[in-house]
Amino acid sequence: MTFEQKRAQIRRHLEAAIRLQRESWDEALAIQELTTYDRDFYALVAELAGGFKDDETITADVINSLLCRS
């Protein structure tokens, strides 16, 4: 792989990562507005991401706990 090919791949992955981060911020703000969640939302998401599989449904208990905190 040439230097220019590596640069192109890095650019593509970086652009995708930035786009996903911005979308993540938008989603976090939407949840914070709905729940008035005042703690570190990204810490919560990281905790949930570690506890759930990709295809696993988020349980009602998790949603209810966010609503109870609001």
pLDDT at 20: 93
pLDDT at 66: 85
The mean pLDDT of 2-12, rounded to a whole number, is 96
Whether this prediction's pTM lies above 0.75 is answered by no
The rounded distance, in Å, linking the Cα atoms of 37 and 18 is 24
pLDDT at 40: 81
- Annotated domain spans of the chain: 3-69
- Tens of pLDDT, residue by residue over 25-50, are 898 888 888 887 778 888 888 888 88
What's the whole-number average pLDDT of the chain? 87
55 CB neighbour count, 10 Å cutoff: 5
